[in-house]
Amino acid sequence: MSRLQDVQAEAAADNALARHLGAWDLVLLGIGGILGAGIFVSTGVVAADHAGPAIVLSFLIAAAACFCAALCYAEFAAMVPASGSAYNYAHAAFGRLVGWFIGWCLLLEYLMAAATVSVGWSAYLVNLLQSFGIVIPPQLSSPPISAENGALAFGAPAINAPALMIILLLTFVLVRGVKLSVRVNSILVAIKVTVIVLFIGVASLSIDVANWQPFLPPNSGTSGEYGWSGVFRGAAIIFYAYLGFDGVSTAAKEAKNPQRSVPIGILGSLLFCTGLYILFALTLTGIAPYPVLDSASPVSTALDYAGSHLAWLKITVAAGAVIGLTSVLVVLLFGLSRILFAMGADGLVPSLFARISERSRAPTGGIVVAGLVVAATAATFPIQTLSELISMGTLVAFVFVCAGVLYLRHREPDVSRPFRVPFAPVVCTTGILVCIYMLLSLPQRTWLAFLIWTLAGAAYYALRRRHKGAAARPATPSV
């Protein structure tokens, strides 16, 4: 049997997780994961520091690359309906070692994304409570580590308590099982979309077109600070905003008809959210000058600038952001636990992560450990450091998924493909090239951090393989 057939056989034989999710559930899961961080958190930082109003172009570039990758994900998800997302796809196409590397990248991606979103959630909660006269002191709402000129610095004793608490709360929800998780996500998505549409409709009446001038600010002389290099740097940073469709593929083992419903969930959620992203970015940069948007809660900042007549909308959007980012966290923690489950089932991480609760039919070991690690990270690090590390793992995974479709079309042309990427050579190659270009647009410190993460993963992989090999060898009889 080929590697692809091995992975397909394992996916078909593994029925540990309960199949509760239909196509609509997966679309909502994707929307829940996509709509949130990109709108409520990263738009301000990217507009202020990199692209200006041309953040709209950054979203379009990221969306184009994501759409190419999403088509490739859909083909793989229909062929290999397993929980591990790109980890299993890379394993099926290129073997165990490459699968491990992509799985390790996904762990970085989901860990940093969940931590980033929870920090943004905390900032919006603080702003919302301030509107009602409730003040959370900085010692309880900011991390002990700050980012100064790209370097980390330790400050006064502090902890981001709201970020810590929301992760622990959602970990408890996820432990209760996928049915409750999906029900909670659906309610949160409905509220979130309503608030976003309300913001676009009302705030667009206060747009000052002067805030869009210049639409593409000239480059400052430093690569990545405005100009086209800033647009591509912005696209690379906000790329993780589309991470939610990857979360859909991690739910393939819990879908009723994954060959049909997973592609619908991936592509449907991506198209819907891209349209809202563009309208939202235009509105945000239209009601306030882009330099003032550099904060973890840029919507609140923009509405403050726009004037007191939008004060009621600020409270509404802050509440919507808190709810919306909560649904993103549900999807990210869900996806992280399922990737750990898939890697644990293959013996690449401890078996604890592959244990299924008889009561909830959920991988509770992975959920709890993932929740604790994300909570500790979110409570300690600043949002600037966290957000830059997310896209690296995402982009690397997307490159291998696009390449995997091309490779398997050549190596396994006769395998049944319930969904096929149209114009595969063009779509896959475009996805690969755009992702590589955005990788090269990321700053050197991000590459250094990724190198350290990769080396740590390689050392762990080698030690685990050596340990398992030693355990498999018969003991030498004593003399």
CA 450 – CA 112 distance, rounded (Å): 12
For 34-61, the pLDDT digits (tens) are 877 667 777 888 888 899 999 999 988 8
For 125-162, the pLDDT digits (tens) are 888 888 788 888 888 877 776 666 555 666 666 788 88
For 96-108, the pLDDT digits (tens) are 888 899 989 888 8
Task: Say yes or no to pLDDT of 472 above 50.
Answer: no
Residue 18 pLDDT: 59
- Predicted TM-score (pTM) of the model is 0.76
Helices (H) and strands (E) in the chain, counts: 18, 2
CA 405 – CA 70 distance, rounded (Å): 12
Residue 14 pLDDT: 57
CA 125 – CA 350 distance, rounded (Å): 36
**Distances from the Cα of 216 to the Cαs of 41, 211, 227, 230, 309, in angstroms?**
21, 11, 6, 9, 29
Any residues with CB less than 8 A from the CB of 331 and at least 6 apart, and which?
A: 29, 30, 32, 33, 185, 244, 247
CA 274 – CA 241 distance, rounded (Å): 10
CA 106 – CA 264 distance, rounded (Å): 22
Quote the CATH superfamily of domain 3-12+20-462. Answer: Amino acid/polyamine transporter I (1.20.1740.10)
Rounded to the nearest 10 degrees, how much is the dihedral formed by the CA atoms of 94, 97, 99, 102? -110
Residue ranges covered by each domain of the chain: 3-12+20-462
Tell me the chain's radius of gyration from C-alpha atoms: 22
138: tokens are 């900085």
* pLDDT range class, residue 432, cuts 50, 70, 90: very high
Angle, alpha carbons 379-304-224 (nearest 5°): 65
For 218-254, the pLDDT digits (tens) are 998 888 889 998 998 888 777 767 767 777 777 777 7
Residue 83 pLDDT: 63
Q: What value does the mean pLDDT take over residues 374-396?
A: 76
Mean pLDDT of the chain: 81
Q: Which of 152-161, 194-203, 395-404, 448-457 is predicted least confidently?
A: 152-161
Task: Say yes or no to pLDDT of 272 above 50.
Answer: yes
CA 296 – CA 41 distance, rounded (Å): 5
